[in-house]
Amino acid sequence: MKMPVWFVFVLGALSAAGEVFVAKVGEKVTLKCGVSSYRRSLQWHHGADLLFSVYHIGFPRKGAAELVQRSVVRQTNLEISSVRETDAGRFTCSADGTRHEHTLSLFSVSVSVTPSADLLLGSEATLQCDVKGVIEGCEVKWRSPNVDSPEWSPTAQLKPVTSSHNGTWQCIITCGSNQLSEHLTIKVQEPPPTTSTTASLCSSKDSPKTIFAIVCSVLLSYFLL
Q: Are residues 90 and 137 in the same domain?
A: no
pLDDT of residue 156: 92
Has residue 31 got a pLDDT over 80?
yes
Sheet holding 71-74, edge to edge: 29-31, 77-80, 71-74
- Tell me what the mean pLDDT of segment 99-128 comes to: 93
Contact in structure between 78 and 30 (CB atoms under 8 Å): yes
Q: Are residues 100 and 133 in the same domain?
A: no
The C-alpha angle with vertex 177 and arms to 16 and 38, in degrees rounded to 5, equals 35
Check which CATH number belongs to the domain holding 128 and give it. Answer: 2.60.40.10
Q: Are residues 85 and 65 in the same domain?
A: yes
Contact in structure between 139 and 180 (CB atoms under 8 Å): no
Tell me, yes or no, whether 167 lies in a domain: yes
Q: Are residues 124 and 59 in the same domain?
A: no
Chain centroid to Cα 141, Å, comes to 12
Tell me, yes or no, whether 96 lies in a domain: yes
Q: Are residues 178 and 157 in the same domain?
A: yes
Q: Are residues 22 and 100 in the same domain?
A: yes
**How many whole angstroms separate alpha carbon 135 and alpha carbon 137?**
6
Q: Are residues 86 and 64 in the same domain?
A: yes
Could you say which of 72, 91, 107 is where a domain stops? Answer: 107
Provide the domain count of the chain.
Answer: 2
For residue 28, what are the domain limits?
14-107
pTM across the whole model: 0.66
Other Cβ atoms less than 10 A from the Cβ of 210: the count is 8
How far, in Å, are 41, 111, 131 from residue 68 at the CA level? 18, 31, 27
Tell me, yes or no, whether 213 lies in a domain: no
Chain centroid to Cα 181, Å, comes to 3
Tell me, yes or no, whether 181 lies in a domain: yes
Q: Are residues 127 and 88 in the same domain?
A: no
- Tell me what the mean pLDDT of segment 26-54 comes to: 94
Q: Are residues 76 and 125 in the same domain?
A: no
Tell me, yes or no, whether 22 lies in a domain: yes
Q: Are residues 50 and 81 in the same domain?
A: yes
Has residue 208 got a pLDDT over 70?
no
Tell me, yes or no, whether 74 lies in a domain: yes
Amino acid identity of 184? Answer: L
Structure confidence at residue 206 as a pLDDT band (50, 70, 90) = low
Q: Are residues 35 and 100 in the same domain?
A: yes
**How many whole angstroms separate alpha carbon 11 and alpha carbon 147?**
57
- Tell me what the mean pLDDT of segment 102-128 comes to: 93
